[in-house]
Amino acid sequence: MQDYQAEFITFLLQTGALTFGDFTTKSGRQTPFFLNTGLYRTGSQLTRLGDFYAQAIEARLGQDFDVLFGPAYKGIPLVVTTAQALARRGHDVGFCFDRKEVKDHGEGGLLVGHKLQDGDRVLIVEDVTTAGTSIRETVPKLRATAQVELAGLIVSVDRQERGQGERAALTELAEEFAMPTFPIVSIDQILAYLREQAGAPHVPAMSDDLWQRIEAYRAAYGAK
């Protein structure tokens, strides 16, 4: 694990964005752990979050993309803060995001921000994907706007769960759309960190029952 990845896990715990309990994902799965980027509340938190995304992007893609795209709604602040972080690091790129409904007045259209052009290499910035549902909704919107190339997909956490088949959702998306997919951290890295740092002030108490529910959930939905 890289230093920035360990720092990101600490950040998730300190901000409360990573929580444990009983939750329902967009795909309908009942999960004992949940990542909620809606819990980032301050400018300083968003600034740090953008830095984490930027570091992961540079580590995986370098500067091999032209535009960042954030799916509404949670992807909007993510794509903005990531673009700002990249600009601070010397890579100033365009960004855009979509509306939930097409605007029929003013400038109109579905997208806000950079106007996509044929040949643009678009990197999708998302919070998390469980089964790949949101990305399969996003890609047709991009391709309906221009003949773009998909430079990749970055998520904050790879839940390492099955998508539509037995393989991981990120693996399926990578093959389906011929693009690299990668996270800042994986759930394996998070769980290993929680075990290694057990008892630290910023690490939540993990009961035996919670660990058992996590293991049962991953046995049921984990990628083969």
Query: How far apart are alpha carbons 176 and 92 in whole angstroms?
Result: 29
Query: How far apart are alpha carbons 95 and 123 in whole angstroms?
Result: 9
Task: Let me know if 105 is a catalytic residue.
Answer: yes
Spatial neighbors of 106 by CB under 8 A, at least 6 apart, are none
> Out of 100, 105, 141, 202, which one is annotated catalytic?
105
Residue located via tokens 């010397």: 90
Which DSSP category does 37 fall into? G
| Count of C-beta atoms within a 10 Å radius of residue 138 | 22
> Out of 103, 114, 141, 224, which one is annotated catalytic?
103
Task: Let me know if 100 is a catalytic residue.
Answer: no
Query: How far apart are alpha carbons 181 and 31 in whole angstroms?
Result: 23
Query: How far apart are alpha carbons 12 and 189 in whole angstroms?
Result: 13
Q: Nearest Cα to 206, choosing from 15, 19, 64? A: 19
Query: How far apart are alpha carbons 19 and 12 in whole angstroms?
Result: 9
Known catalytic residues?
Answer: 103, 105
